[in-house]
Structure 1
Amino acid sequence: MTTFGFTLHATDGAARTGAIATPRGTIRTPAFMPVGTAGTVKAMLPESVAATGADILLGNTYHLMLRPGAERVARLGGLHAFMHWDKPILTDSGGFQVMSLSGLRKMSEDGVAFRSHIDGSTHMLSPERSMEIQRLLGSDIVMCFDECPALPASEAEVARAMRLSMRWAERSKAAFGDRPGHALFGIMQGGVTRELREESARALTAIGFDGYAVGGLAVGEGQEAMFGVLDYATGFLPEDRPRYLMGVGKPDDIVGAVARGIDMMDCVLPSRSGRTGQAFTRRGVVNIKNARHADDPRPLDEHCSCPACRNYSRAYLHHVFRAQEILSSMLLTWHNLHYFQELMAGMRAAIAEGRFAAWQAAFHAKRAEGDIDPL
């Protein structure tokens, strides 16, 4: 059986390209992971998600433990069989969602007691329970349970949360146990403070993980501050393990993160934007709801090979969005996921060929041009 492993193929500056081997298939890096919160990438069939070029997707521990329940998913053969996705799945720990329930939760050293946002039932999520839920779901990459404070927060509060997360990381590793073919990732915290990030990275590498995430960013600090942290944070992490930036993001955030040594990212943006009539193109974001598209027979992006661009006009996409047809969400989500995967493939090729700086300059220049002129 293939065990979990990471191979670095090439670097160009801080940017890296490689491959993560898992028993369920290879993940080409840099990788973008579509988010399948409740066991589905909204408005997409699993085979359609695979057709966009995705090697892995993300499932959500918090949502799946509440509905339909981790034990039920396990009885039904695990998350891969349940949702008909045979490639790798990464599950988050549930920590981020629980922390955002500020009015419904009570935190202690043990973990977080909270009330379900669905029915008000009470639950306890601890490092041990998070590991158990993720084992029941059967995910290939498991995330440590951590506390992610919302920014802005005082440095003392960020330090307290980070040190608690490091104690929880140790408990997560112990509870994860020995699971050949499955990987456990630690999560670096520390806000925007270099010393705290370094302390967190040292604690995590001392425990030892299969991969390392940079957590606690893209939570309101802004792109400049995020890039400022990534300029040094990736250097604190082992070179021979994948580095995952959680919850990012916009195309220019992704490109900037890869330029700073990140290997994996996830975000709801391509699917959520698709449902609200926003399409990502190489020329920037197109709002299909705008009246300028109503009579436009041209595709969203003439260079895109997704079904939305291949088979439908801007006028039709405008119409189905305005008519609130389900097909609108399906086509725009497919297009956005296709665009994000094309972005990753472009970066992988550019890094491998040692031309990443030129690729990055061309990416920004094309976006600066803006959308094609109206007819």
Structure 2
Amino acid sequence: MGQNGGVPASDPTAAVTTDSPVPAAHPRQEGFSFEVGTRMVNPDGSTGLGRTGVIHTPHGDIRTPAFIAVGTKATVKAVLPESVAELGAQAVLANAYHLYLQPGSDILDAAGGLGAFMNWPGPTFTDSGGFQVMSLGSGFKKVIDMQVSTADGGDDTVAPGKERLANVDEDGVWFKSHINGDRHRFSPEISMGVQHRIGADIMFAFDELTTLHNSRGYQVESLERTRRWAERCIVEHFRLTDERATKPYQALFGVIQGAQYEDLRRKACTDLGAMPFDGFGIGGALEKENLGTIVGWCSEELPEDKPRHLLGISEPDDIFTAIENGADTFDCVSPTRVARNSAFYTPHGRFNLSGTRYRTDFTPLQDGCDCYACTHYTRAYIHHLFKAKELLSHTLISIHNERFTVSLVDRAREAIEDGTFAQLKAATLAAYYAGQPDPQGL
């Protein structure tokens, strides 16, 4: 099976029964905990959904709300782990799909786990690989088109000019590697095995990703399949936790699907909220304008004493919306992805450093920013690096963008604690989206 990194020797096509009772809890779950801190106060004086808190893991605490830096292949692209720590990131999220294919989860296990392998001492996350299996398997590469449509494929949507590389059945997913075309199998049990060997502090249950192209009928069917897979993930997770008793406890988060249907989202929260998960991920298909509403539905239904992770956001308006509606942590590849195209964040918006105006601009990327890039280098120099195709430009802009995002969330957390969240949100978003000229000459 190519670069599979230790797929179980058992037949991956064998049917898996789902009628076994889900264990109530595991005694080692006390190795992971979450405590709620300050609850947000709404302008009318009522208690809001947003809150601060602390996630306790075997490799350290995460003060929430927190932005989790994405290190897909056991690296935050172009940035040293030491720099990730220096810029204030509290945890890193890697991807089970990519690490399964390369170098293989057995390699990370032998190295002592994800953190030891990449020289990151703090908490780590892995997502289940479900998003990549389905998005890459549908030919959409990095993202799936989430525009509302059932045309051009409907429940079997594939990107134009691409072939379907992933196929879902009741027991799991067959997919082809985007690297070399090898055929692989993921199931709840295989995903749990891969993630246990990778060794992150927080893992996500294997779920089926749908898009807004899918019909409501398919969303209902898929949601029930994800529920059954969640049960299987818990059973296998507890079995592996016993089998690997010498390893630090790894927390397991259930993933909430249901697209933009309120009844389906609430049902998913009720179903998975009754299971012994350590926390929950909010994922799946949604439009930007519905983000806050959907996160709010989930926060109202999920257990108060467990953390909620929102998968895949980093724009300032999305960050504030997610936090005020109850998200505790979130992640996104955007800070480093846009950096590789010379885009950098400032309090006055996002700008592209490739413009000729920066050739003689000897100011930092952001005046007053305390990141390494801003305290040591100028826009003119980084502009030169980008134009000369020197990879150091990726590193410096990525450091700044990650620091900008981490710092923004840190300020939001402090504002919840001192009761000024609404004011911070209004001032920050007004400046960022106003389109006014940057005081530094943008």
TM-score normalised to the size of structure 2? Answer: 0.82
Map 1:150-189 onto structure 2 (within 5 A): 150-177=211-238, 179=241, 181-189=249-257
Task: Give the aligned partner of residue 370 of structure 2.
Answer: 305
The equivalent position to 1:15 in structure 2, one of 36, 43, 50, is: 50
Partner of 2:208: 147
Q: Which residue of 2 aligns with 1:241?
A: 306
Provide the residue aligned with 1:5 in structure 2: 33
CA offsets 1:92-136 (integer angstroms, 9 cap, x no match): 001111111121112111100111111111111000000000010
Q: 2:402 aligns with which of 337, 353, 368?
A: 337
Q: Is the 8 A contact 2:50 2:324 kept in 1?
A: yes
2:124 equivalent among 84, 89, 100: 89
Report the 3-state secondary structure (helix = DSSP H, G, I; strand = E; otherwise coil) of the residue aligned with 1:14.
strand
Q: Is the 8 A contact 2:361 2:379 kept in 1?
A: yes
Question: 1:20-58, CA deviations, whole angstroms, 9 ceiling, x for partnerless residues?
Answer: 001100011011111111111110111110111111110
* CA–CA separation in structure 1 for the residues paired with 2:233 and 2:254: 9
Q: d(CA) in 2 for partners of 1:325 and 1:255?
A: 35
**Aligned partner of 2:65: which letter?**
P
Please say if residues 74 and 136 of structure 1, whose CA atoms lie closer than 8 Å, have aligned partners that are also in contact: yes
Mapped to 2, the partners of 1:213 and 1:66 lie a distance apart of 23
Could you tell me how far 1:233 is from its partner in structure 2? 2.3
2:312 pairs with 1:277: no
Q: Corresponding residue for 1:203?
A: 271
* SS of match in other structure, 1:177: helix
Q: Are the aligned partners of 2:265 and 2:297 in contact in 1 as well (CA < 8 Å)?
A: no
Q: C-alpha distance in 1, partners of 2:438/2:227?
A: 46
Match of 1:289 among 351, 354, 377: 354
Query: Percent same amino acid among aligned pairs?
Result: 44
User: Root-mean-square deviation (CA), in Å?
Assistant: 1.5
Structure 1 residue 316: Cα displacement: 1.3
Q: CA separation in 2, counterparts of 1:249 and 1:165?
A: 26
Instruction: Please say if residues 35 and 266 of structure 1, whose CA atoms lie closer than 8 Å, have aligned partners that are also in contact.
Output: yes
**Native 8 Å contact 1:92 1:143 kept in 2:** yes
- Which region of structure 1 is more displaced relative to structure 2, 60-69 or 356-365? 356-365
User: In the alignment, what sits opposite 1:122?
Assistant: 183
Query: How many residue pairs get matched?
Result: 372
Give the Å deviation of 1:79. 1.6
Q: How does 1:19-98 map to 2 (within 5 A)?
A: 19-98=54-133
Answering whether residue 411 of structure 2 is matched by residue 371 of structure 1, we say no
Show CA shifts across 1:214-246 (max 9, x none). 1104xxx43112223223222111111101111
One-letter identity of the residue aligned with 1:97 = Q
Cα 1:249–1:157 shift into 2, 3 Å: farther
Three-state SS of the structure 2 residue aligned to 1:134 is helix
Once the two structures are overlaid, the 10-residue window that deviates more, 79-88 or 185-194, is: 79-88
Taking the aligned partners of 2:269 and 2:97, their CA distance within structure 1 comes to 25
For the 8 Å contact 1:255–1:360, the answer to whether it is kept is yes
**Aligned equivalent of 2:386, options 298, 313, 321:** 321
Partners of 2:291 and 2:321 within 8 A in 1: no
Alpha-carbon shift at residue 14 of structure 1 (Å) = 2.2
Deviation for aligned residue 1:251: 2.0
Secondary structure of the 2:31 match is coil
Deviation at 1:370, TM superposition (A): 4.9
Aligned to 2:288: 223
Distance 2:440 2:288 in 1: 29
Is contact 1:169-1:204 (8 Å) kept? yes
Instruction: Please give the residue correspondences for 1:241-260 in structure 2 after superposition, counting only pairs within 5 Å.
Output: 241-260=306-325
Distance 2:201 2:121 in 1: 11
Aligned to 2:167: 106
Among 266, 272, 280, the residue aligned to 1:212: 280
Question: Normalised by the size of structure 1, how large is the TM-score?
Answer: 0.96
Distance in 2 of aligned mates of 1:152 and 1:346: 37
Q: Is the 8 A contact 1:192 1:226 kept in 2?
A: no
8 A contact 1:57–1:90 mirrored in 2: yes
Structure with greater Cα Rg = 2
**Which is helix-richer, 1 or 2?**
1
Shift of 1:148: 0.9
Return 242-251 or 168-177, whichever deviates more: 242-251
Which deviates more, 158-167 or 130-139?
158-167
Corresponding residue SS for 1:190: coil
Structure 2: 5+ residue runs without aligned partners?
1-27, 41-47, 139-163, 242-247
Residue pair 1:37, 1:63 contacting (<8 A) in 2 also: yes
CA distance in 1, matches of 2:325, 2:366: 29
